Amino acid sequence: MRTESADVLILGSGGAGLFAAIHAYDTDPSLKIVVVTKGLMGKSGCTRMVQGGFNVVLDPADSVERHFSDTLKGGHYINDQELAWALANDAPATIHELETKVGCFFDRRADGTIHQKAFAGQSFDRTVHRGDLTGIEIMERLRDQVLARHITFLEEHRAVELVGDGARVTGALILNIRQGTFLGFSARVTLLATGGGPTMYKIAAPSLEKSEDGLALAYNAGALMRDMEMVQFHPTGLLAGAGRVTGSVLEEGLRGAGGRLFNSEGERYMTKYDPEHMERATRDVVARAGYMEIMAGRGGPQGGVFIDVSHLGADFVRKTFPGMVQRVKDVGYDLATKPVEVSPTAHFHMGGVAIDKDGHSSLEGLFVAGEDAGGVHGANRLGGNGVAESTIYGRRVGDAIGREAKSFALTVLSNKDWESRALHYSRFWEVNRTENPAHLLIELRALMWEQCGLVRRASDMLQCRRRLSSLTEQLEGVSARGSLQYNLRWADALNLESLVLVSQMVTECALMRTESRGSHYRDDYPNEDNQNWLKNIYLQRGEDGTMIIYAKDVTFTRETPAGLKEVKANGQQHVVH
């Protein structure tokens, strides 16, 4: 058992974690900053996987107000409006910094201005990109900037527990995956930026190491969570049999450029679901439409639907979407000339830890940024707002940490305290354990896909609740055999713990929200109910370990949905202007 300390402990090395590290260091270079990453620094995580781009107002014909309003409409008005405003307002300065200070190169027009392309759910073409592999460009340059500073990073380490007293976080217990040993890490402030990654579903897009660890860590530490029922499914996840590339996203720019969706009968089915916007409808609408077609028996050989961009011209497709063409080619298809079979794929968690606009959580000393945080996107995230959130909030939170870190005392636990905590995570070697975590993970993913996925109903979710409870009990029989070093079975067991817990949060919130809104669709309550459900759902771990859950009216600080004044007049909705 080894112990260390730092001023700033950052858990996660995606866009949020690395930009926060850079800004915290630049705000106060005397800070000792340590970045802990489950994978390799700058080479893992979901920011690197971003294809489409970054939403930002650059054109004089566009406006921050329009970007903000599009974000609220996409989120069906349950966004935290101050967080959504900070996203839209800070985006231009963030893109400017990424280009001029961080060193990113984004595609440009012939006149030298930054090129912006169309994405669904937006009233203006405002998505900045680097081809169709924007995330790689951003992450490579952020990684360069971290390496140029005195910032320490620990690769292939994962946090298994946030340490604190229920009111404050003072560090984290870290597992060295390479060695199978523990590190007790004390810190003045801790930043949670592990990325969400809803991999509790059978078909999922996030990077392979994702298991909702940050959300489980925050909940277990006592942080206030919000809107956990809101899980986004991207409409076009590649299908490649049992291969690990199944579920990986074919980017939204394909639909933005004019891509069309067909079922197995050759019908362009979006005419039935959103004839006005067709394939450029928001992700929740298009994903649900694809799922409905598949469930109605109009799916292809792999149980999917088809995206076709061949009518745009093979040369255009190969030039504009080289990353997507290569991805599809790797599994035997030609995107430029033929339709490709796709399926909705679990992609992003809009819910997460409740924060303010500088990333403070409900726990002293715990900051949160990126997909671990909830509130920016409401009930549905617009394509292009994801990498924007991670970098914008990494930047904002990094500044706040740089200003505030030294105002927090450093609390150091004894070796005995650390060792007692580590002992809990070594229990998987007890001889009476026989359960294989990989088998339970397969079962969990099928369960969530079928009973708490794109289309939900109370009867299914009640069954899901019961099965999740029994899976929690089965966790106590999970075993990890063999060496401590690089033990994948141990990793699966820890992943399973996080995913089952987060699945329980999703299910409980989905049961409570008796309406359909954005990514949350219930066929037993198929309509959006602004009279009763313009609310956020909050949950928190009680002192006795029970899940405390409640709903609270949305606060409209900047923009009120049309028609809400009548609701207010009826005394059924509280509105703050």
What single-letter amino acid sits at 226?
R
> Quick check: is 421 catalytic?
no
Tokens 């967080």 identify what position?
A: 83
Among candidate residues 324, 199, 333, the one with its CA nearest the CA of residue 251 = 324
Instruction: For residue range 295-316, list pLDDT tens digits in order.
Output: 999 999 999 999 999 999 999 9
- In contact, 249 and 51? CB cutoff 8 Å: yes
Between CA 187 and CA 36 the distance in angstroms is: 13
Between CA 265 and CA 295 the distance in angstroms is: 14
Catalytic-role residue among 130, 234, 283, 522: 234
Between CA 258 and CA 65 the distance in angstroms is: 26
Between CA 203 and CA 214 the distance in angstroms is: 21
- In contact, 448 and 464? CB cutoff 8 Å: yes
Q: Which two tokens stand for residue 84?
A: 């959504």
Between CA 111 and CA 108 the distance in angstroms is: 8
Alpha-carbon torsion angle 14, 19, 21, 26, nearest 10 = 170
Between CA 518 and CA 381 the distance in angstroms is: 9
Among candidate residues 352, 362, 364, 5, the one with its CA nearest the CA of residue 164 = 364
Q: How far is CA 295 from the centre of its chain?
A: 26
The angle, 0 to 180 degrees and rounded to 10, between the axes of the packed helices 15-27 and 134-147 is: 30
State the DSSP code for 250.
P
**Full set of structural domains in the chain with CATH:** 2-230+348-407 (3.50.50.60), 231-347 (3.90.700.10)
> Quick check: is 481 catalytic?
no
Between CA 416 and CA 421 the distance in angstroms is: 9
Q: Does the pTM exceed 0.85?
A: yes
The three-point CA angle 39-490-135 to 5° equals 20
291 — phi, psi (to 5°)? -60, -45
Distances (CA, A) of 32 to 45, 169, 187, 360, 406: 24, 17, 10, 20, 10
Distances (CA, A) of 366 to 16, 158, 222, 414, 486: 15, 17, 11, 21, 29
Tokens 């942080």 identify what position?
A: 223
Tokens 């255009």 identify what position?
A: 316
Between CA 519 and CA 344 the distance in angstroms is: 12
- In contact, 154 and 174? CB cutoff 8 Å: yes
The three-point CA angle 176-212-190 to 5° equals 60
Catalytic-role residue among 48, 129, 226, 255: 255
pLDDT at 268: 97
pLDDT at 565: 60
Q: Which two tokens stand for residue 289?
A: 């439409």
For 320, the 3-state DSSP assignment is helix
pLDDT at 571: 39
Could you write out the DSSP letters of every residue in 50-66?
--S-EE---STTS-HHH
Q: How many CA atoms lie within 13 A of 196 on its CB side?
A: 30
Instruction: For residue range 429-440, list pLDDT tens digits in order.
Output: 887 888 999 999
Q: How far is CA 169 from the centre of its chain?
A: 22
pLDDT in tens, the chain (577 residues): 899 999 999 999 999 999 999 999 999 999 999 999 999 998 888 888 888 899 999 999 999 999 999 999 999 999 999 999 999 999 999 999 999 999 999 999 999 999 999 888 899 999 999 988 899 999 999 999 999 999 999 999 999 999 999 899 999 999 999 999 999 999 999 999 999 889 999 999 998 899 999 999 999 999 999 999 999 999 999 999 888 889 988 988 899 899 999 999 999 999 999 999 999 998 889 999 999 999 999 999 999 999 999 999 999 999 999 989 998 999 899 999 999 999 999 999 999 999 999 999 999 999 999 999 999 999 999 989 999 999 999 999 999 999 999 999 999 999 999 999 999 988 888 878 889 999 999 999 999 999 999 999 999 999 999 999 999 999 999 999 888 999 999 999 999 999 999 999 999 999 999 999 999 999 999 999 999 999 999 999 998 999 999 999 999 999 998 877 644 434 333 332 2
